[in-house]
Structure 1
């Protein structure tokens, strides 16, 4: 699969003007600039319909679920192709509409609702218990000491196992 390249506004405008103002063919401009004829055709159509603003990139555009539903229904009612729908609704890429159609097919209208991005806010974290000002009882002190000693013993056992594994590995290397 080919790497997706993003072109800046000046480059798009230059290519479109080469075709429209200098009467060059799409194929020759596309070949000279090493771009696809499909992209160039899309840029020309957006330029003809929306002017220079049609060539501006629309990064991270958010569309409402009502708009998405309107696009899908208009495509069905008017039998529009994806590229015609992109031009009609000023949507930069037909892959966006394809995703909406998939979501609508699988989940209906609720599938078109914008989902929040990023980490959920309602995540719960385990918080360390706050130390109280009152002194610990003898039993609590012993429990804490017992827990600490168990952790130390587990650490030492793991360390000893690692050392033995390393020594066994070295012994295997030295024996012919």
Structure 2
């Protein structure tokens, strides 16, 4: 299942064309269409740099370690702002680069590795032992009986402790 896109491709293209081809101001177009002017500015920039591809909705993309390093190095070497870096490398949001910078400062190059997505498995379930058709040996039977008697004894001890606790509360 893909992520929900707030504005359709056609809507973005229509707004950008109003600005570029009809020579309307960004603020006017943004007010008419009910969008924020900074969004429209970025759409226009992406359209000018990458053409119609720049307006296509992007799936959550995983960037390689090499690419992330290249982006961070070019920000430092070329003195790029986050917006300029997004435009140059076709990254949809500045927050992605900000996260890379923060992780790189904290953890170094290992902070740029892609992390596994989704909820981690919290418990490993023990598989039930398969029952075999072979009859149990006398020793196995005694072990099973011993185990069940211990469980029953533990249950009775807990029940007795609860009863004593309830009686002491009444007193």
TM-score, normalised to structure 1's length? 0.75
Could you tell me how far 1:85 is from its partner in structure 2? 0.6
Whole-Å separation in 1 of the counterparts to 2:119 and 2:133 = 36
Whole-Å separation in 1 of the counterparts to 2:71 and 2:6 = 25
Report which stretch shifted further, 126-135 or 60-69: 126-135
Partner of 2:169: none
TM-align CA RMSD? 3.1
Whole-Å separation in 2 of the counterparts to 1:19 and 1:25 = 6
Whole-Å separation in 2 of the counterparts to 1:105 and 1:11 = 39
Aligned residues: 160
Residue pair 2:5, 2:57 contacting (<8 A) in 1 also: no
For the residue of structure 1 that corresponds to 2:131, the secondary structure is: coil
Could you tell me how far 1:114 is from its partner in structure 2? 1.7
Could you tell me how far 1:150 is from its partner in structure 2? 6.4
Residue pair 2:15, 2:29 contacting (<8 A) in 1 also: yes
For the residue of structure 1 that corresponds to 2:38, the secondary structure is: helix
Partner of 1:53: 53
**1:101 matches 2:127:** no
Could you tell me how far 1:19 is from its partner in structure 2? 1.1
Extract unaligned runs of 5+ from structure 1: 166-176
**1:130 matches 2:130:** yes
Report which stretch shifted further, 88-97 or 4-13: 4-13
Partner of 2:38: 38
Gap change, CA 1:133 and 1:5, over 3 Å in 2: closer
Alignment of 1:109-124 (within 5 A): 109-118=109-118, 124=124
Could you tell me how far 1:132 is from its partner in structure 2? 2.8
Partner of 2:26: 26
Report which stretch shifted further, 87-96 or 109-118: 109-118
Whole-Å separation in 1 of the counterparts to 2:103 and 2:45 = 27
For the residue of structure 2 that corresponds to 1:108, the secondary structure is: helix
TM-score, normalised to structure 2's length? 0.77
Whole-Å separation in 1 of the counterparts to 2:28 and 2:147 = 77
